[in-house]
Amino acid sequence: ALGKGSDLEKAFATAALVYNNHADPEGKLSKSEAKSLLQSQFWHFIQGQENKPKYQEIISSLDEESENKIDFEDFMILLVSLTLMSDLLQEIKNVKTSK
């Protein structure tokens, strides 16, 4: 459906597809499933972040009551939060400014 979409549209469509492929029939993930999905599919963004307080806060929130479910909106907030604190984001910015 997004064959002619912009890169940004394709990126968000991919995030939605990945989420939906792992979500239960109600469209939700347990917190433990969300953590596992982030660790397997978002590894380059979270690699090396383990000592940052914000990272620890996000991950520990997924460990608390890990059977509780989150919806797509909450999952996207997690993605954005992890992206904003990631060293990879800074590396991407540095590549852009050095061109």
Q: What is the CATH number of the domain that holds 11?
A: 1.10.238.10
Establish if 82 belongs to a structural domain.
Answer: yes
The predicted-structure confidence for 29-47, as pLDDT tens digits, reads as follows: 999 999 999 999 999 888 8
The predicted-structure confidence for 17-30, as pLDDT tens digits, reads as follows: 999 999 999 999 99
What is the gyration radius of the CA atoms in the chain, in angstroms?
A: 15
Establish if 89 belongs to a structural domain.
Answer: yes
Establish if 2 belongs to a structural domain.
Answer: no
Looking at the structure of the chain, the number of domains it has is: 1
pLDDT exceeds 70 at position 97: no
Supply the DSSP symbol for 86: -
Establish if 1 belongs to a structural domain.
Answer: no
8: exposed, middle or buried (Cβ count in 10 Å: 0-12, 13-18, 19+): exposed
pTM: 0.82
